[in-house]
Amino acid sequence: MSDLRLTQPVTEAELADWQYVHNAIIPTHVLSLEDVRERSLRHHLEVAYLGDELVGCSTVRPPADDTGTATVIARVLPAHRGRGFGTELYARGLDRARELGARVVETVVLASNEDGLRFARQRGFVEIERYLLPGDTIHWIDLRLS
């Protein structure tokens, strides 16, 4: 994956790219650019490019309680799936979560994202909870690395 370039979004263009990937993959929870800016202060975000082409993004939510649970989410646009980019995003996210002190790693996937669920399960994640947020019609699935 030497051609894959990963960067923390800082510029407006990079934040907008992260936002685009998030909103494309999670259309039930559209984020504004201001939402993304705020998240970038609380979480470790990265944007992935192949040359100048946008490929995906990731989020690492650091451990926030005494369980040491971090959340690692890798998102790859459909046109770029199956080429190892998600694996690289996930591995970097997992390393970052461990650097931040994670003892438990979880992820969350929209139930309609069959590729994302398959990806998580292939890496050892098991479903721990399925729920609907207010106003949603598609379930969210929390998974934990076993």
Question: pLDDT under 50 in the chain at which residues?
Answer: 1
Report pLDDT for 65.
Answer: 81
What is the per-residue pLDDT across 61-78, written as a single tens digit (0 to 9) for each?
999 888 999 999 999 999
Residue 138: helix, strand or coil by DSSP? coil
Report pLDDT for 64.
Answer: 82
**All structural domains of the chain with their residue ranges:** 4-145
Report pLDDT for 1.
Answer: 45
β-sheet with 69-76: strand ranges across: 4-7, 44-50, 53-61, 69-76, 104-110, 140-145, 125-131
Separation CA 46–CA 86 (nearest Å) = 12
Report pLDDT for 2.
Answer: 55
Topology (CATH level 3) of domain 4-145: Aminopeptidase (3.40.630)
For the entire predicted model, the pTM comes to 0.93
